[in-house]
Structure 1
Amino acid sequence: MRTPDRSDMDGETSDVRAFLESLTGPSRGTVTWLVGNALSASVGPDRILKFRRKEDVPPHDEDVATFQWSQGGYTLNALPGRDVWVNGQKTASAALGHGDMIEFGEEGPMSRYRVCDHSFPAHHTVEDIISDAYVYARSSRRPFARKMSGALRDGGRRLTSQTTVLFRVTVIGILLLIFAFGYLLFQNDWKLADSLKQESLKIEAVAVILSQTREDALTADDLVALREAFDNQVISTEQRLGTLEERAGASRRVITASTRSIAFVQGDYGLRQTESGKLLRHVLGPDGEKLKTPFGKPWIEPDAAGAPAEFQFTGTGFLLQGTSLLVTNRHVALPWTTGDRAQALKAAGLEAEILSLLAYLPEQSKPMEAVLLRASNTADLALLSVDANRVQGLGLSLAPDPPRAGEEVFLLGFPTGLKALIVQAGPDFLKTLERDGAVDFWSIAKNLSEQNKIRPLASRGIVAQISPGAVVYDAETTTGGSGGPALNRNGEVVAINAAILPEFGGSNIGVPVSHLKTLLDESD
């Protein structure tokens, strides 16, 4: 139903006194002008409200009420048998006031009555629209859910169609600002959550690495424990670790000939942030001290001013005869590739890289710098390059054939790392370290080398099992002995020590020398 023009009714514009604004039904949102002194209102099966002058058309069955102008306003009279409600109250006759809500029959439309001064407002105020929605919700006899949804729906429609352009533009602008602000908050929350997640992953990665490298580092508490052990004579060089080859009855010839080619490997690595390419460094306090997180872990950041965070490790390697190559395990040369370290670093967006890698040889007072040449993708092996001038005349040869079960093997290495070397060096060396204050990871190895106290331990064992991927033997060793050679009676390398199997009575696993030969061929 269209909104009628005032001239639609005989052109008597002076008789326009009010209008009805339909709020429900098919005519929702339209306006019906009330022109004349006496009008008849009808509602057909289509639920559309219609008006006509009483004198123009005789009454018919669809009429529900009449409107009579008197004393400056219309009076509504319900026809006999017809139900009409004004402001929610059923009535037979009512003098209408501006803003009254009229409901024509059980199924008829609900309309707002408005008095006008010969003009229909082009726009409604927000206050009027909200008021209409409130009155409708209060006056309607429909079920609560229906009248509330109707009030909200009609109020929203009118706010978007019957208010001024300026108001609508302002509302849209405010909504856009709210949306933009919400989006910025979302972005900031997402970035903050991602930052917290990355920080958590970084802390987790550092914790995993620290937990797996703790045994490689020598702390002040370790030195105190060693000094007390010496003072109480609970341990001695022979009682604690000593020379295992004497206790096991190993062949002195093989041990003596091979010792000078066995290297104590010492190194550290740092962590680089993949995104920025920066190394993680220690965050320093006002006095230059290294700060820690609330979890007790080192506080490290890519933009910190302290030294790079370093993770220390030790292991064993041996020189290869006729070359300047040092053979060791991949997990010694690339210690972050073992256990959960690699996965934790990747999840934290970090990459590890070697900061320092040194090799100490017996009877040499200074270490050699070592550089990773190649690591095997199929076996726990790696080749390091060292100074050729420092290793002339040294090196071990490789056995042409694999060992057989029941054969003797001699295992050389540096089990337990610096701790074993300090025990071998004796209590006087420990006192010197404490007196000079040279108890850090690097100074201890440097002093041991200068005093010619770096010497591998040896043990004897029997080959228990052989397979293409492993040689199993019972020669004694422990953490730190990884990368050491397992020698036959001819002093030839038959396997490279790689793992310990404490659950099988102290058995150890070595990588067959055939895998080393393959790696050497690939490196040529």
Structure 2
Amino acid sequence: MLSEEVVKAVEKVKPSIVNVSTVKMVYEFFFYAFPVHGVGSGIVVDEEGLFLTNHHVIRGSDRIQASFYDGLMMEGRVVGVDPSLDIALVKVDGANLKPAELGDSDTLRVGEIVIAVGNPLGLAGEPTVTMGVVSALDRQIVSRELFFPELIQTDAAINPGNSGGPLVNLKGEVVAVNTAIIPFAQGISFAIPISSIKPLIESFKKYGRIVKPWLGVKTIDVNRQITNYYSLG
């Protein structure tokens, strides 16, 4: 039965969900400071305390607190970021955690059932579970700060606080990381494919930091003057 498959998938991934709470100190005139609190979700990817979340969840934070499924609460520190992909890696010390099983987002099909798990609005207690389908693949989304070329679109309900949490298939495998919604729309949410994130995790485990290839190229528009100068016509 479908309901039993969903229950098993959720039970498999729940121990790997992280409730992320952040504090950022904001300074006003006369050096008066007040805390701004934020919430998000995360996914354990390493038994030794490494978990991933969205970069926008922890960006600029002075303090990160991670709460785990068994009630354990620990201070986290950022050990790697990829702002262009909106992904951050956070580490807690001395933890014996259960990592989630990472699936293959390249095999996803439109119409496939997916499950979003996370901590919307910072609600206390167990993670919140919603279900939907893969609505579209390779969605391109442009924001004021980021360009996402290949997001997964889903109608599984995602709310503030879900960011950084997993989108899983019926096998309980993480196939994407929930990252964005369109506030004025209904049933339109977006997640980052896990296949884009795996190289970051592997890079950190190998080098102790995120290493990405880059090409030192600058482009310019070719106008008539440049065409004539270099005889490009």
**Alpha-carbon displacement from aligned partner over 1:429-457 (angstroms, at most 9, x marks no partner):** xxxxxxxxxxxxxxxxxxxxxxxxx2100
**Alpha-carbon displacement from aligned partner over 1:22-64 (angstroms, at most 9, x marks no partner):** xxxxxxxxxxxxxxxxxxxxxxxxxxxxxxxxxxxxxxxxxxx
The structure with the largest alpha-carbon Rg is: 1
Of the three residues 296, 312, 317, the one matched with 2:42 is: 317
Of the three residues 68, 76, 92, the one matched with 1:370 is: 76
SS in 2 for 1:251: helix
SS in 1 for 2:121: coil
- Compute the RMSD of aligned alpha carbons: 2.1
SS in 2 for 1:479: coil
Contact kept, 8 Å, 2:114 with 2:134, in 1: the verdict is yes
Please name the residue that 2:160 is paired with. 479
Residue 505 (structure 1) shift: 2.5
Contact kept, 8 Å, 2:105 with 2:176, in 1: the verdict is no
Residue 477 (structure 1) shift: 2.2
**2: distance between equivalents of 1:504 and 1:398?**
29
Please name the residue that 2:6 is paired with. 251
**1: distance between equivalents of 2:115 and 2:94?**
27
**Alpha-carbon displacement from aligned partner over 1:121-156 (angstroms, at most 9, x marks no partner):** xxxxxxxxxxxxxxxxxxxxxxxxxxxxxxxxxxxx
**Alpha-carbon displacement from aligned partner over 1:2-31 (angstroms, at most 9, x marks no partner):** xxxxxxxxxxxxxxxxxxxxxxxxxxxxxx
Which structure 1 residue ranges, 4+ long, deviate > 3 Å from structure 2?
Answer: none
Identity over aligned residues, as a percent? 27
**Alpha-carbon displacement from aligned partner over 1:95-137 (angstroms, at most 9, x marks no partner):** xxxxxxxxxxxxxxxxxxxxxxxxxxxxxxxxxxxxxxxxxxx
Give the structure, 1 or 2, with the largest relative contact order (CA under 8 Å, sep 6 or more): 2
Of the three residues 498, 501, 506, the one matched with 2:187 is: 506
Kindly indicate whether residue 61 of structure 2 is the aligned counterpart of residue 380 of structure 1.
Answer: no
Going by fraction, where is strand more abundant, 1 or 2? 2
Which residue type is aligned with residue 398 of structure 1?
L
Which residue type is aligned with residue 114 of structure 2?
V
Kindly indicate whether residue 7 of structure 2 is the aligned counterpart of residue 301 of structure 1.
Answer: no
Of the three residues 21, 31, 56, the one matched with 1:266 is: 21
Contact kept, 8 Å, 2:179 with 2:190, in 1: the verdict is yes
Going by fraction, where is helix more abundant, 1 or 2? 1
Residue 322 (structure 1) shift: 4.2
Residue 469 (structure 1) shift: 1.8
Of the three residues 476, 480, 493, the one matched with 2:174 is: 493
SS in 1 for 2:111: coil
Please name the residue that 1:398 is paired with. 102
SS in 2 for 1:510: strand
SS in 2 for 1:370: strand
Residues 323/474 of structure 1: CA separation in 2 closer, same or farther (3 Å cut): farther
Residue 386 (structure 1) shift: 1.3
SS in 1 for 2:175: strand
**1:415-430 maps to which residues of 2 (within 5 A)?**
415-417=120-122, 420-421=123-124
SS in 2 for 1:518: helix
Q: TM-score, normalised by structure 2?
A: 0.75
Kindly indicate whether residue 52 of structure 2 is the aligned counterpart of residue 327 of structure 1.
Answer: yes
Residue 387 (structure 1) shift: 2.3
Contact kept, 8 Å, 1:249 with 1:460, in 2: the verdict is no
Kindly indicate whether residue 93 of structure 2 is the aligned counterpart of residue 359 of structure 1.
Answer: no
Residue 474 (structure 1) shift: 0.6
Q: Which runs of no fewer than 5 residues in structure 2 stay unpaired?
A: 139-148, 207-233
Residue 390 (structure 1) shift: 3.6
**2: distance between equivalents of 1:381 and 1:496?**
9
**2: distance between equivalents of 1:507 and 1:249?**
26
**1: distance between equivalents of 2:132 and 2:181?**
14
SS in 2 for 1:301: helix
Kindly indicate whether residue 169 of structure 2 is the aligned counterpart of residue 414 of structure 1.
Answer: no
Contact kept, 8 Å, 2:105 with 2:193, in 1: the verdict is no
Contact kept, 8 Å, 1:267 with 1:312, in 2: the verdict is yes
**2: distance between equivalents of 1:413 and 1:515?**
20
Residue 504 (structure 1) shift: 4.2
Residues 269/373 of structure 1: CA separation in 2 closer, same or farther (3 Å cut): same
Residues 329/487 of structure 1: CA separation in 2 closer, same or farther (3 Å cut): same
Which residue type is aligned with residue 469 of structure 1?
E
**1: distance between equivalents of 2:109 and 2:85?**
21
Which residue type is aligned with residue 301 of structure 1?
F
**1:284-299 maps to which residues of 2 (within 5 A)?**
none
**1: distance between equivalents of 2:172 and 2:94?**
22
Residues 361/385 of structure 1: CA separation in 2 closer, same or farther (3 Å cut): same
**1: distance between equivalents of 2:185 and 2:113?**
18
Contact kept, 8 Å, 1:250 with 1:410, in 2: the verdict is no
**1:62-81 maps to which residues of 2 (within 5 A)?**
none
Which residue type is aligned with residue 355 of structure 1?
D
**2: distance between equivalents of 1:474 and 1:370?**
31
Contact kept, 8 Å, 1:474 with 1:508, in 2: the verdict is yes
Contact kept, 8 Å, 2:78 with 2:90, in 1: the verdict is yes
SS in 2 for 1:253: helix
Q: Which runs of no fewer than 5 residues in structure 1 stay unpaired?
A: 1-247, 272-279, 281-298, 335-352, 422-453
Contact kept, 8 Å, 2:45 with 2:99, in 1: the verdict is yes
**1: distance between equivalents of 2:77 and 2:62?**
11
Which residue type is aligned with residue 35 of structure 2?
E
